[in-house]
């Protein structure tokens, strides 16, 4: 069962904007990202894989997908972002999965279940109509409601949170 961000915080997130939701959900969540993760996932790294995205925009993807911050939510969001990036190929997936399973330090490393959830996120990322969502400047959408943004990006949280 996936984490339902709307229910967890008893908020109607669809009616709130990015700025409001981020301040409620992620304002206290500022992890120190290990270097190896920064290398593969941060857009400022020369070795970053497709799907690379800033931490703040990564948080926005969590919000759009209605996912929390559990390891499986994290795996789904990363899978979604990589799947949605049209540059992602099988070699990228192999490098990421190998790193996430065996190189990423605890608590950031992926279990077998996390990898399954990653795959589900990847499939969903490939499915939605808007591609390369990791390259969108979400700062331009700060005052739009989450419901509106989900509709323009083609994200249906009912499909995700079954």
Q: Give pLDDT tens digits for 31-41.
A: 788 999 999 99
Query: For residue 60, is pLDDT > 60?
Result: yes
DSSP SS3 for 33: coil
Per the structure, the complete domain to which residue 45 belongs is given by 5-160
Contact 13, 66 (CB under 8 A): yes
Contacts (Cβ under 8 Å, ≥6 apart) of 40 = 47, 48, 49, 95, 96, 99
Total-model pTM: 0.86
Name 17's bridge partners. 145
Q: Domain total for the chain?
A: 1
1: confidence class by pLDDT, cuts 50, 70, 90:
very low
Query: For residue 2, is pLDDT > 60?
Result: no
Mean pLDDT, residues 42-64: 95
pLDDT digits (tens, 9 = 90+) for 75-123: 999 999 999 999 999 999 999 999 999 999 999 999 999 999 999 999 9
Reading the block at residue 105, the tokens are 């330090």
pLDDT of residue 10: 43
Contact 117, 78 (CB under 8 A): no
């Amino acid at each position: 069962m996936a984490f339902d961000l709307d229910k967890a915080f008893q908020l109607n997130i669809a009616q709130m904007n990015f700025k409001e939701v981020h301040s409620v959900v992620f304002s206290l969540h500022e992890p120190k990202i290990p270097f190896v993760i920064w290398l593969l996932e941060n857009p400022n790294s020369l070795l970053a894989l497709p799907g690379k995205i800033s931490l703040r925009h990564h948080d926005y993807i969590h919000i759009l997908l209605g996912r929390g911050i559990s390891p499986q939510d994290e795996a789904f969001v990363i899978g979604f972002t990589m799947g949605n990036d049209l540059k992602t190929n099988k070699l990228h997936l192999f490098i990421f999965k190998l790193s996430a399973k065996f190189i990423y330090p605890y608590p950031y490393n992926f279990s077998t279940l996390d990898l399954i959830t990653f795959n589900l996120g990847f499939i969903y990322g490939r499915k939605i109509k808007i591609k390369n969502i990791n390259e969108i400047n979400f700062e331009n959408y700060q005052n739009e409601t989450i419901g509106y943004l989900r509709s323009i990006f083609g994200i249906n949280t009912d499909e995700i949170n079954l």
